[in-house]
Structure 1
Amino acid sequence: MSQPSSWPIPNGSTRFVLPRRIVSELSEHPLSKDLYPLAMGYYKRAFGHSMSRSRHDDCLLIYCVDGCGKLNAGLKSYKITTGDFILLPKDEIHSYLADSKTPWSIYWLHCEGQLISEFISPLKKMSRHPVLQLGLHSRLISDFEALLDLRQSTQLFESYLHSSSLLRQLLTHITLLHTQARHHFDKTFDMEAIQSLMLRCVHETLDIDTLAATANLSKFHFIKRYKALTGSTPINDFIRMKIERACHLLDITDQRISEIAWTLGYEDAYYFSRAFRKVMGISPSQYRSIRLGKATYKE
């Protein structure tokens, strides 16, 4: 594990390093070997905090929840402010320090695992540098606090095992927040307007040209930008919205499936059923039977 800093810990801050024996067990246990924590902590208004590593052999996460700092990584320097999240994969040589006037308060966590690269690869794909502008999120802070609560029951291996699941939750939550943040901060691509148009037209047909015009882009560039931000195509998302509406109508009405199909702009009920099955994994009639208690999802 990369050496945590030797910064003297004042009141209100904490540092917790997992015992080597526990780390060894976590690295071999089938429920934790894919991802597990090595060390974690919270530094409050960290005056004088700094760290420099020429050797880095794990993954380091840092979430700045107050104040400022500076990061040097990949031959570049980054100013860190409140709401920034730092991702430093294995072998990323780096140094960082708290601002001298308004020093940061940070949550930090070293982690490892056989699938660590898979867990962080979505974040690396979405950002070309190690600083993600997530903003402040109380739930993300709660995720870090839940991991730090591990200190209260360190006599139980099961608590360490639980920390592996909490770490999975934290990383997938960060991926979700970063995706949402990209949607919000990309002022040149109004995702809200595009998806609002989809919802307004859920009972009709809607083509790519109309959606692209809303974004003032060519059809090719619109599809490319949309997929980069969402991981899906605009038409697939539009179909998903239609099927979600179909589920609602199947839940609250006794309309025939052909009538629901017509309501949602499908002239061919068979084509509608195919689209429904592709999204939901079952047919519209099976979906209704499950709601009425006449079938189970496994049938």
Structure 2
Amino acid sequence: MSTDIKKEEGFDGQKAIVLPRPILIKNCVPNPLLSGIYITDIGFYPKAKFHYRERDHGIDQYILIYCTDGKGEVKIEGLSYTLNSGNFIVIPAEKSHSYASDRNNPWTIYWAHFKGHLVKSLIGLLVKRQKGYKGSVQFNESRIKLFDDIYLNLESGYSRDNLYYVNMSFSHFLSSFIFDEKFNYSSKKSSVNPIDISIEFMQKNLHTTFTLNAIAKSANLSPSHFSALFKEQTGFAPIKYFNHIKIQKACQYLQFTELRIKEIAATLGIDDQYYFSRMFSKIMGVSPQDYKLRRETLRENKSL
């Protein structure tokens, strides 16, 4: 059996770019800003009937396949994964694999091959969050526009600036699969994630001091379940996280207002300014007074 069996009869509207390997070797591999993650091939196959590829020994690139319509099957080292609309999969480098579009309901896919010294860690994060190579994302027009932007810029050539832009953008594109709930966050009118709801509740009530029970109630969860879930998703206990965003707001007050330390503490629901100063110093590594002084000095130096 061949190690690289391919059948592509051509699909109406298909597009693909294979970056010249000498371009990658010269401009990406030795460049510290590009060598972490860079595209080697990229394309879009609509209604790709008879699309099939088999590689017994894998390749030295990772492959992302994102299905937006139809159906297909991917096999990685003998394990089968069915991809429907909204599913994506990452095929690791150097692993035997095959993939095929369903003949009765052929898939429409966006795909890319990529490599770099940061890719293994990045995909490890994706696999950890998705609990496997396959995942699902909500359809988001911004994700498609980002892909098209990458593709169109590559079509215009392989200048150094183009390679910088498309590969930095591609990192963002990949992150949209790892953090689907965060991608294009500003356009999402509401969130069904209880942790996001609780954080929004905190942000709207920075002037208040809450107990764990009160914050958990905002997410309609028991305190114990909420606390465990919150720490799993953010890495912090809820109250500690609440204090962090209070201090984040305090930094803004120190930088952009003439409020005194005592006034800032009161605005954030903290009656004891000395307790506030200790909390600020622990989180920021400097006292509020020193933070304000440093920011003022920085602004003065920039104006010179």
Do the structures match in fold with TM over 0.5? yes
- 2:233 pairs with one of 229, 232, 241: 229
Unpaired runs of 5+ in structure 1?
none
Aligned-partner residue type, residue 36 of structure 1: Y
- Partner residue, 2:117: 114
Aligned-partner residue type, residue 146 of structure 2: D
- Partner residue, 2:188: none
Distance in 2 between residues matched to 1:5 and 1:120, nearest whole Å: 26
CA apart distance, 1:212: 4.4
Distance in 2 between residues matched to 1:281 and 1:14, nearest whole Å: 52
| Equivalent residues, number | 291
Distance in 2 between residues matched to 1:215 and 1:73, nearest whole Å: 40
Moved more, 273-282 or 25-34: 273-282
> Structure 1's 227 and 6: CA in aligned 2 closer, same or farther, altered over 3 A?
farther
Tell me if structure 2 keeps the 8 A contact 1:87–1:130. Answer: yes
- Match runs of 1:171-190 below 5 Å: 171-177=174-180, 190=194
- Partner residue, 1:198: 202
CA apart distance, 1:203: 2.1
> Structure 1's 67 and 205: CA in aligned 2 closer, same or farther, altered over 3 A?
same
> Structure 1's 22 and 4: CA in aligned 2 closer, same or farther, altered over 3 A?
farther
Report SS of the residue matched to 2:98: strand
- 2:54 pairs with one of 43, 52, 58: 52
CA apart distance, 1:261: 0.6
- 1:154 pairs with one of 153, 157, 162: 157
Tell me if structure 1 keeps the 8 A contact 2:154–2:166. Answer: no
**TM-score, normalisation: structure 2:** 0.79
Moved more, 58-67 or 234-243: 234-243
CA apart distance, 1:280: 5.5
Aligned-partner residue type, residue 233 of structure 2: L
Distance in 2 between residues matched to 1:44 and 1:298, nearest whole Å: 56
CA apart distance, 1:40: 1.0
- Match runs of 1:122-141 below 5 Å: 122-141=125-144
CA-to-partner distance for each residue in 1:60-98, whole Å, 9 max, x for gaps? 111222333233336543332222222222234333222
Tell me if structure 1 keeps the 8 A contact 2:9–2:50. Answer: no
- Partner residue, 1:39: 41
CA-to-partner distance for each residue in 1:165-220, whole Å, 9 max, x for gaps? 23223223433325679xxxx97x7224433443454222223344446554453x
Report SS of the residue matched to 2:209: coil
> Structure 1's 259 and 30: CA in aligned 2 closer, same or farther, altered over 3 A?
closer
Distance in 1 between residues matched to 2:290 and 2:194, nearest whole Å: 37
Distance in 1 between residues matched to 2:286 and 2:89, nearest whole Å: 42
Tell me if structure 1 keeps the 8 A contact 2:23–2:158. Answer: no
Tell me if structure 2 keeps the 8 A contact 1:68–1:80. Answer: yes
> Structure 1's 225 and 112: CA in aligned 2 closer, same or farther, altered over 3 A?
same
Q: Structure 1 residue 86 and structure 2 residue 89: aligned?
A: yes
**TM-score, normalisation: structure 1:** 0.80
Unpaired runs of 5+ in structure 2?
185-190
Distance in 2 between residues matched to 1:34 and 1:83, nearest whole Å: 27
Distance in 1 between residues matched to 2:259 and 2:5, nearest whole Å: 63
- 1:165 pairs with one of 168, 174, 193: 168
- 1:262 pairs with one of 261, 266, 273: 266
